[in-house]
Amino acid sequence: MNLANLLSLSRLVLSPFVMVFFARKNLYGVITLWVLAALTDFLDGWVARNYGEISELGKILDPLADKATLAFSFLSLMLWFELPLWLGWIYIIKELLQLTGGLIFLKLKQKVIPSNYWGKTSTFLFFVGFFLYCINTQAGVIVLFIALILSLIALGTYTKKILEKDATS
């Protein structure tokens, strides 16, 4: 287990605490976790690239930690802060489909499809949207909707990559 993977793992372990802080209506705690998630996300990528720690495990842990933090944030906002249910459920269903497809591809091909621009941009916008939602619900929903569209585009690009790799195998 290298440093980059430990940073991703720490983000994954901390992700359920988003719900704990939301349940207690502790937005400072939530924002602190979001900032920690952003910092560890940046640092794990930086460490992996600059110290040669890119690994197959890291390619799984990093996006899994992001997805867990986002899913707990969506669930919390839907439960306690009246986030439109359709927005959260589309995201959660899309992530379950993407995760299932990625696991099947990993099992069959022993390869991981790395995240791309669409996925990274949508993740960033989701966090911006969550923060905005906490201070201005309308602005937050707009940014979250845009992030959801980009996330669906990412799903399409990952699916295309899997089908292309499958066709060439």
* Residue range 8-30, pLDDT digits in tens: 999 999 999 999 999 999 999 99
Q: What's the whole-model pTM score?
A: 0.91
Q: How far apart are the C-alpha atoms of 83 and 134, rounded to whole Å?
A: 10
Structure tokens at 97: 């489909």
Rg (CA), the chain: 16
Give residue 78's pLDDT.
97
> The tokens 């197959």 sit on which residue?
56
Give residue 154's pLDDT.
93
Q: How far apart are the C-alpha atoms of 169 and 153, rounded to whole Å?
A: 24
Give residue 160's pLDDT.
87
Domains in the chain, number: 1
The residue range of the domain holding 93 is 3-167
pLDDT(167) > 80:
no
pLDDT(101) > 90:
no
Confidence of residue 80 (pLDDT cuts 50, 70, 90): very high
- Give the mean model confidence (pLDDT) for residues 77-100: 94
Q: Which CATH number covers residue 51?
A: 1.20.120.1760
* pLDDT tens digits for range 150-165: 999 999 998 888 787 6
Structure tokens at 88: 């959260």
pLDDT(111) > 80:
no
